[in-house]
Structure 1
């Protein structure tokens, strides 16, 4: 942001300087050239007036030679010609004589306005001696353009200096302005990032900057405080519910176990059905608590070797798959490191593998593969079970989204939450030949190592 503000002010100031200083320099340069030319023509006319007395009135040439001497002392070269274009008198230097001077004399004697040329750093002017229409002669004066060039260079030098000072002042002011605005925003951004990473006690300390930024920081702190209170309140509710529900369910299940051990006949059958319902209710409570914990998860991402975790979880579930006579395997993939919360990938894979094993019949297969797709690590859990219909896929990641699920119907909801909270995505596809494929897109690790944070066990099948 600071760089953008500085560059914007610099570009604006540069544009203003170009639009103001350059035209001013051009105008001043033109005025200097006109003034220089007028001074030269004025000096030429003075010599022409003195020469007229000698050429037309046949008076003494003393005044003419005096003016020529004065011109030579000033560094100019001058030459006087009669009406036949013959050289009458001149200064010691010869710059006012030659081909260019002869052309000017001819034009002046013909009564035309000459176009003074500029060659080799000198300027030539010609003026008639006497009447313009019938001049008695002509005077040519050559003057060095060095003083004019020096003044023009000084004009542009001062213009460049003023522009450079203006640009330097603009840079200093824009940097100070950018820091004044950018520093509190950077502080606020860092506080928001830490809050998003799970540090609920984080607050933004903004003492300077624009009033709008200070008000934004105050609003952020208010929001952070309310968020902290809400999260702590939810955690307290979850802890209370966990204790208040699990304890009586465990006691009820124990009593049913005792009664079932002594019952016979129809009573034993009814108690067995009650035990099944109690077990299902316990799993449902555990699932709801797991989803609630997952929804409150704000992970601090750490580098996780995806291929190693996949191999580890496949190995851990291998005995279960063998017991159910299901082929469980992992496709050899590249060594990939993803940016995930500690333990999240293990919990996701446990839910997906458990669901796949439940869906596959004896002799079926479940495969877990890893590959790179763009900037993501893609994990695919494929099974050759009965698959899932289009309507079921649309609501599969909702709580109890699949009414035909064999378990609680909460496993995919936990998977979706854990994947998306880490900046990834999850989708369902049909397996070629029948079955379901769950595709996980996990962000690759690109940052510096972060401090891992332990998470509660969210596994639910």
Structure 2
């Protein structure tokens, strides 16, 4: 924002300078040209008056004295011609033979009684000339003319000098605007940068972050106050939610545990009775209800910065969970295999990878028919370590894959009456570990490829 403010100051100042200095520059250069030509024209008139008698009497030495002194003093070229346009004196060639200048337009005009001044290109010399001519006349009769010329480069140097001065003034103004604008922009954006930092801390989970009331415009002070009110309200809500989750965990788990124990205690008494199937179903329902409660409590936890991550040997975790699920796989006549060569280190919250694998393996075994193979493999993909749980079940449609991580969503082929929270929990656990969870169709065959990606160490 500081750069944008500074750029806006520069653009506005630059626009104002251009609007002011460009017309001023043209005006000054025009005035410089006018002043130069006016001065030369005045000198030509004065010199014509001085040499009037000597031109009329053709006293070349006297003409050379007056005109030569002027040429040496001001550095221009002075030419004095008679009424026919033939040179009586040329300061560039004082000893040269007479030349005919009657074809020069300014000479013709002067011999006609005019006093022209201007800038023209000289084909003889090959460059532009600034000139002024005046007639040498007395008694209404023109006896000759005086012409004073300068190279137009002198005029160009004056004009360039004017533009350089204007550029210098503009540069000084822009430098001053930069210094003042930088301080002004910094003072304006400093409270915003501080507020941005506080907002970042709040977003990272520091609910105690507050913005001090800054010195500055009333709008910034009002914004800081509103931010602090929002942060306080958010802290109250999150604290209330955490307290509710803690209380709910105790209040819900305790009666569920007691109910399950009571039902299990009834199992020996109903060993030979017809109600045993109902009892087992009731115990299964209490376990399912406890699983739902655990999932809801996990999903209800505030995000915050989450628990600390540690370096984990993903392959070791895979081998451990595959060994734990092998007995159930054998009971269902499913072959459970692991492909975990070497060591794959990744960042994860302790225990989260194991919970993710348990969910994936439970789902894979649930959809696998006798004789099927469930494979767990790991691989390195750029900065990621990927764990794949591949089953040979019926697979999922595109619509089902799009909804599979929604809470309480259950696929049409689900057989166990699950809670619909397992994959939602998987996604949250993967996110807390800095990774992501995905379900993809297997390539070239039926089944699902359940993937968890973790940052490699």
Deviations along 1:402-446, whole A, 9 cap, x unmatched? 06363322111112334567886654332231112235566889x
Using the TM superposition, name which of 133-142 and 191-200 deviates more.
133-142
Counterpart-to-counterpart distance in 2, 1:390 and 1:12? 56
Which residue does the alignment assign to 1:274?
282
Summarize the Cα distance change of 1:196–1:341 in structure 2 as closer, same or farther, 3 Å threshold: farther
**Is the 8 Å Cα contact of residues 51 and 61 (structure 1) preserved in structure 2?**
no
Deviations along 1:48-82, whole A, 9 cap, x unmatched? 23444444588999799556645544444423211
Which residue does the alignment assign to 1:317?
321
Which residue does the alignment assign to 2:87?
87
Counterpart-to-counterpart distance in 1, 2:275 and 2:344? 58
1:172 to 179, 202, 206: 179
Which residue does the alignment assign to 1:47?
47
State the TM-score, normalized to the length of structure 2. 0.79
Counterpart-to-counterpart distance in 1, 2:133 and 2:186? 64
Summarize the Cα distance change of 1:275–1:78 in structure 2 as closer, same or farther, 3 Å threshold: closer
Summarize the Cα distance change of 1:348–1:205 in structure 2 as closer, same or farther, 3 Å threshold: farther
- Please report how far the alpha carbon of residue 89 of structure 1 lies from its aligned counterpart in structure 2 after TM superposition: 4.1
Partner secondary structure for residue 266 of structure 1: coil
Choose between structure 1 and 2 for higher RCO, CA contacts under 8 A separated by at least 6 residues.
Answer: 1
Summarize the Cα distance change of 1:206–1:437 in structure 2 as closer, same or farther, 3 Å threshold: farther
**Matching of residues 173-192 of structure 1 within 5 Å:** 173-192=180-199
Summarize the Cα distance change of 1:425–1:55 in structure 2 as closer, same or farther, 3 Å threshold: same
Which residue does the alignment assign to 1:395?
403
**Is the 8 Å Cα contact of residues 308 and 349 (structure 2) preserved in structure 1?**
yes
1:431 to 442, 448, 452: 442
Deviations along 1:273-305, whole A, 9 cap, x unmatched? 332222222222222222223xx2233597877
Deviations along 1:84-142, whole A, 9 cap, x unmatched? 333334658759999896753764477596864577897443333239x9842121223
Counterpart-to-counterpart distance in 1, 2:307 and 2:24? 60
**Matching of residues 268-347 of structure 1 within 5 Å:** 268-293=276-301, 296-299=302-305, 309-323=313-327, 324-325=329-330, 326-330=335-339, 347=355
Counterpart-to-counterpart distance in 2, 1:80 and 1:43? 13
User: Is residue 385 from structure 1 mapped to residue 385 from structure 2 by the alignment?
Assistant: no
**Is the 8 Å Cα contact of residues 81 and 139 (structure 1) preserved in structure 2?**
yes
Counterpart-to-counterpart distance in 2, 1:100 and 1:440? 102
Counterpart-to-counterpart distance in 2, 1:269 and 1:337? 45
**Is the 8 Å Cα contact of residues 366 and 415 (structure 2) preserved in structure 1?**
no
1:417 to 418, 422, 428: 428
Partner secondary structure for residue 353 of structure 1: helix
**Is the 8 Å Cα contact of residues 314 and 329 (structure 1) preserved in structure 2?**
yes
> How many residue pairs end up in the alignment?
438
**Matching of residues 8-407 of structure 1 within 5 Å:** 8-56=8-56, 66=66, 69-70=69-70, 72-89=72-89, 94=94, 103-104=103-104, 107-108=108-109, 111=112, 116-117=120-121, 123-130=130-137, 135-143=142-150, 148=155, 151-263=158-270, 264-293=272-301, 296-299=302-305, 309-323=313-327, 324-325=329-330, 326-330=335-339, 347-362=355-370, 363-370=372-379, 372=381, 380-402=388-410, 404=414, 406=416, 407=418
RMSD after superposition: 4.1
Counterpart-to-counterpart distance in 2, 1:75 and 1:65? 15
Summarize the Cα distance change of 1:222–1:262 in structure 2 as closer, same or farther, 3 Å threshold: same
> Unaligned regions of 5+ residues in structure 2, if any?
none
**Is the 8 Å Cα contact of residues 314 and 328 (structure 1) preserved in structure 2?**
no
Summarize the Cα distance change of 1:196–1:319 in structure 2 as closer, same or farther, 3 Å threshold: same
- Please report how far the alpha carbon of residue 186 of structure 1 lies from its aligned counterpart in structure 2 after TM superposition: 1.4
Counterpart-to-counterpart distance in 2, 1:74 and 1:427? 91
Summarize the Cα distance change of 1:142–1:268 in structure 2 as closer, same or farther, 3 Å threshold: closer
> Unaligned regions of 5+ residues in structure 1, if any?
446-461
